[in-house]
Amino acid sequence: MRSDSIKLPSYDALIEEAGGFGTFQKLAMLILIASICASGWAVYGQSYLLLYPDYNCKYPSETQYWNTNSSLYLEKCNREYFCEHQDVEFIRDEESHHSLDNWIKKYNMDCTSHNIISLFGMLFFTGWAITSLIIPPLADIHGRKNIYVYLLCTNLFTYIVPMVLPGSSFEYVYIIIASFFINGLMAGGKTAVGYCYMLELLPEYKQTLFGTLWLIVDGSTFIFLTIYYRFISRNWFGTFVIGAAQLVLTIPCIICFVPESPKWLYDQ
């Protein structure tokens, strides 16, 4: 028989012959979805990390703060006014559920330029755009697992940096902004590589289900963040502990338990 007439079994046929979708795939999906979604506590959490509080205001000569329904309050008790004028004293309204113990409070960014605030998100997506063109092709050449683990370790680093900064000096804000840029460099590859890695461990008939499940879990991070800040704590630190814990738990599991993508090995 001519060698070119031999028909090799398909990848999906080999997966089914090896056992199809079983306990191993279920555990691998749990680990990989948790690891992919771990960055959401910082990235999606920006809306809370940089949320401005509500304020109480008065003139320096007054002893009582303005009523929140008064015309003076509505006109002058806002950042656009009191950050540009010196005739109004302001303090945070700590009773408001908008007044979180976040980076605005820690680094006294109440009157910080919008340009600096925008750097958190802008540099994150700049990093994402750069590496989304570089890392996925590298994973096609060198495999999914090792590159994915390196990216997860980078993600963990970007959680640890803001948590260990020793004070509330405004200069630390630039370090956190730099960590968000690094986070973007990581995320641009991690999402694509992790998604492919996850689906390539599954038979084809399960890929749509778990791809959808990943999107549901990832999007639910917004809900979990809202519940955390509204009912559990106003302090930002706990959300970073959760994100870092997901990575601390999943990185060793991937290294020790989840193999290289069989689909990538099959195509070599």
User: Domain holding 119: CATH number?
Assistant: 1.20.1250.20
Inside any domain, residue 127: yes
Inside any domain, residue 16: no
Same domain, 145 and 37: yes
d(CA 79, CA 55): 9
Inside any domain, residue 136: yes
Same domain, 82 and 162: no
Q: Is the pLDDT of residue 17 over 90?
A: no
Inside any domain, residue 6: no
| Count of structural domains, the chain | 2
Same domain, 68 and 149: no
pLDDT at 1: 43
Mean pLDDT value across residues 153-169: 95
Backbone angles phi, psi at 57, to 5 degrees: -135, 160
Mind listing the pLDDT tens digit for each residue in 213-260?
Answer: 999 999 999 999 999 999 999 999 999 999 999 999 999 999 999 999
Inside any domain, residue 262: yes
Structure tokens that stand for 134 in this block? 């570089």
Same domain, 112 and 86: no
> Of 36, 64, 96, which residue is a domain's last?
96
Mind listing the pLDDT tens digit for each residue in 32-63?
Answer: 999 999 999 999 999 999 999 999 999 999 99
**pTM for the model:** 0.91
Same domain, 172 and 234: yes
Same domain, 255 and 187: yes
Inside any domain, residue 134: yes
Q: Is the pLDDT of residue 192 over 80?
A: yes
Which CB contacts under 8 angstroms, 24+ apart, belong to 203-207? 203/12, 203/15, 203/16, 203/20, 203/21, 204/12, 206/21, 206/25
Same domain, 154 and 255: yes
- Residue 101 pairs in a beta bridge with 235
Backbone angles phi, psi at 224, to 5 degrees: -65, -40
Beta carbons of 124 and 187 less than 8 angstroms apart: yes
Same domain, 159 and 84: no
Inside any domain, residue 209: yes
Inside any domain, residue 5: no
pLDDT at 99: 96
Beta carbons of 257 and 31 less than 8 angstroms apart: yes
Mind listing the pLDDT tens digit for each residue in 97-136?
Answer: 999 999 999 999 999 999 999 999 999 999 999 999 999 9
Average pLDDT, the chain: 93
Q: Annotate 132-159 with b (16+ C-beta within 10 A) or e (fewer).
A: beebbeebeeebbbebbbebbebbbebb
Res. 6 pLDDT band, cuts 50 70 90: low
Res. 5 pLDDT band, cuts 50 70 90: low
The rounded percent of the chain whose pLDDT value lies above 90 is 85
Same domain, 121 and 217: yes
Same domain, 158 and 207: yes
* Domain boundaries, position 74: 55-96
Same domain, 40 and 72: no
Same domain, 167 and 63: no
